[in-house]
Structures are given as structure tokens and as C-alpha cells.
Amino acid sequence: MKSFSIKNNTDLTQGNIAKGITTFCIPIFLGQLLQQLYNLADAWVIGHFAEKEAFAAVSSSGSISFFIVGFFGGISVGGGVIISKYFGAGDKKKVEEAIHTNFLFGIIASVLCTAVGLAIVPGLLRLMDTPEAVMPFSLTYLRIIFGGVAASLMYNICMAIMRALGDSLNPLIYLLISSVTNVILDVLCVKTFGMGVSGAAVATVLSQAFAVALCIVKMCRIKDYTRLDFRKLKWNGALMKEVAVQGIPTGIQNSVISIGNMTIQKNVNAFGADAMSGMGAYLKLEGFVFLPINCLSMALPTYIGQNLGARKYDRAKKGAAFGILSGMALSEVVGLMLFFGADFILRFFIDDDASIVYGVTHATTTSLFFCLLAFSHCAAGVMRGCGKAIVPMVTMLAFWCGVRVTYVTLAVKIWPVFRTISWAYPLTWSCSTIVFLIFLLFTDWTHAFEKETIRRKK
């Protein structure tokens, strides 16, 4: 069946490859940039108008929230792959069913994620050896975040649906509105009302809920078959199985990698609140490194899915090469800037010299290897787009969790300095890059969907 394009959506199976990917990526890039600018403003407000322990709590809580939210969010990626595949193939009925199946999954996942998050947060904080001075701040922040986690999950579901259909503009608009709302609420709650970490968490939840509301209104007003209709929300076992097959590996990958990151954070915590603050400030900067990586790794599954659905195999290969090489080049440029300017930039967040030393140490150790990080993420995006999500899952679990945790656990005992922790990242990025390169060069990933379809029919 011939591929097609409809209003508000982009058909990535036609036209110039570089132009098509770049055009699709621009709104995603701007959206990610807005997110990072919001993160900077958020960190600045907390870092200057709350206690040092509050900043340490917020900045070190990301691995815990991602451990749970990342699992369900990863499954939404699978839903996006399925939608883009059927969109590229021109199957309107399947696209409609996949949209509603994915949205219904988001509702169910929101209930589960809230319950699980609230139940296990205290235990996870203790497992990470969170300092006693930081513990009450971390507990307060994460309880509010998980109390409103439905907003985060449904936001990711809506974004995955829109982008799978080639719409990267409206997610940008809603993210802009959400980011501005978040900054305003941050200033009001943290600075004006003196709510500290509670204010930061409330601002995050409310701004994401506002974005979800905007997404749903937009999706319900579409005039064609991609319209969201709550009357059509029903369980579709066959499609949910497809979504699960593509999404669960990514969800498991996200969660298990988070376990690795929590192990890293545990070792960082052992160096005290200064190390936690310095590392937390660095992670805010690292978000800018992920701008080109994220926008391409999010665009590539849609591009690959649409083109393989339309059976344009050579075009899929050329787009994969363009996306990966572009991500590597752009991230390395950002890495060089961070390598030489880390000390200056970190002072935007924190004024404490002892904390800055830790942030600079980590930056100068990892930043020159960002091209490897980009390769791994973009290659993983290609694999998800062709239905091979199991490959990045196994690879990243093996290296970004297994090897990383083993290395840190053993190496810190031999070389008990902070830089030892930092070297865990470039070492494991190098390992995953080798595996992904072998897969892309020596396997027939472009026919993965057809092979899976034939296998299921047998």
C-alpha cells in the first residue's frame, strides 16, 4: 500500500533525506532546548533560594524517578514504533487502533506507577545511602513527584503518538507553554512562598499536567482518523502485544540502567553533600549534550519505522547513517565546549568551591567521549525503529549496568578518588559502541519487520 501524508503530520518516506530528518528534528531540538533551559532555571532557583541539601536532594533524585517512570515511558516508545510503521504502510485502521491502545496503556500505567513509586521510594533512598541531612528533602520531593506521576507518563504517551505520526511541532508548542509555566511556578513556590523542595515538585507536576491537558484537547480536535476518541478506548490484545514486544525491552533497559546509575549515585553520595551538589550541577549541564542526541534518537525510530513500513530499505539505511553521524558530530562540539568551560558554567548553579571541584572533575573526564554516547543512543533509535529493541536492551544492560556497576564497585576500592567513578561512563560507552556498530554493519536489520511477521504466521 502506498504511503501518504496528512495534515499536521509528516511523511518521512518522501523527499530529501537530510532535509526531511533535519526538518523533523528542529521542533524536537527546540523542545529539548526549552526543557534544558527550564532545568537550568529550576536548578538556579533551588540552588539560590533553598538549602544546599535541597539542591542535592532534587539533583540526585533523578535516577530513582527514572527507574520507575523510565520503564513505562520505554513501553510508550514501542507504541510509537508501531504507529509509525502502520502510518508508513498506509494502514489507517491499524493506526487508529494503535493510537487508542497506546493511550489506554498510559492510563493503566499511570495508576501502577503511582502505587509502585510511593511504596518503594523510602527503601530506594536508603539503599543509595542518602545522607541523613538530605534524606527528608529527597523523601518530600519524590513523594510529590510520584503522587502526580500520571502527568509525566501521559505527557510522554501523547508526545510518542504525535511524533510517530510525524508531528513534532505541536509537542514543541506544548513544551514551551509547560516550561514557562514551570519556571513561573518555581519562582512563586520556592522563592516567594519559601516551599523549598515541595515547591519545586509541585511546580513540576502542575506544569506537566497543564501540558497533558493541551495535548489531549489537540488530539481530540483532529478531524481525520488519527483523532483521539475516548469512546474508542478499549483493550486490543493483539496490538498491545505488538507494543509490548517493541516497548518492554526499552522499558527494562531504562529501569535497569537506572539501577546502574543509582549504584553510581550511591558511590557519589559516599563523598558527601559537596559531591552530590557538584555532580547534580554537572548533570544539568550534561542535558545540553543530550540535545542533539535526544532529538535524533527520538526522530530516528519514526523515520526508520515509516520507511521500513513503506519498504524503502535503502532510504532507511541512508537516513540511519545521516542521523548517527550528525549526532556524533554535534555532541562532540558540545563536549569540547564543556571540557574547556566547565568551571565557569558550573558557577551558574552553585557558588560553593568544594562542590564545583567535583563537577569539573566529572566534566573533564567524560566530555571528550560524548561522540560515543551519541553513537550508542542514535544506533539504539535505529534499532527500535526497525523493531529490534531487544538489541539495545541487552547491550545497555550488559555494559551500562552490569559492567558499570562491577567496575565502580571494584575500582573505587582500589582507587578511592572521585575521578574513578567518572571513568565508568566513557569505558561503558566504548563497549556499547562496538556492539552497535557490528549489528548495524553485519545484520539485515532493514527486513526485521517482514521476518517477524512471517515468524508470527508460522
User: Tens digit of pLDDT for each residue in 6-34?
Assistant: 345 567 888 899 988 988 888 878 877 77
Query: Are 251 and 75 in contact, with CB atoms under 8 Å apart?
Result: yes
What's the domain count of the chain?
1
Would you place residue 319 in the very low, low, confident or very high pLDDT band (cuts 50, 70, 90)?
Answer: very high
Q: Is 8 domain-assigned?
A: no
Cα 152 from Cα 285, distance rounded (Å): 22
Q: Is 95 domain-assigned?
A: yes
Q: Looking at the predicted structure, is the pLDDT value of residue 264 above 50? A: yes
3-state secondary structure 71-102: HHHHHHHHHHHHHHHHHHHCCHHHHHHHHHHH
The single residue listed with the C-alpha cell 560507552 is: 429
Q: Which domain holds residue 70?
A: 17-443
Nearest residue to 317 (alpha-carbon basis) of 330, 309, 308: 308
Q: Is 6 domain-assigned?
A: no
Q: Is 405 domain-assigned?
A: yes
This prediction has a pTM of: 0.72
pLDDT at position 1, please? 38
Q: What is the mean pLDDT of the chain?
A: 83
Q: Is 11 domain-assigned?
A: no
**Nine-digit cell string for 299:** 526522530
Cα 384 from Cα 250, distance rounded (Å): 8
Q: Is 74 domain-assigned?
A: yes
**Nine-digit cell string for 385:** 525503529
Nearest residue to 74 (alpha-carbon basis) of 157, 158, 163, 166: 157
Taking only the tens place, the pLDDT of each residue in 416-451 is 899 999 999 999 999 999 999 999 999 888 887 666
Q: Is 449 domain-assigned?
A: no
Nearest residue to 309 (alpha-carbon basis) of 448, 166, 158, 442: 448
Q: Looking at the predicted structure, is the pLDDT value of residue 373 above 90? A: yes
Taking only the tens place, the pLDDT of each residue in 86-95 is 887 788 888 8
pLDDT at position 389, please? 82
* Other C-beta atoms lying within 10 Å of the C-beta of residue 272: 17
Q: Is 404 domain-assigned?
A: yes
pLDDT at position 458, please? 55
pLDDT at position 399, please? 92
pLDDT at position 329, please? 93
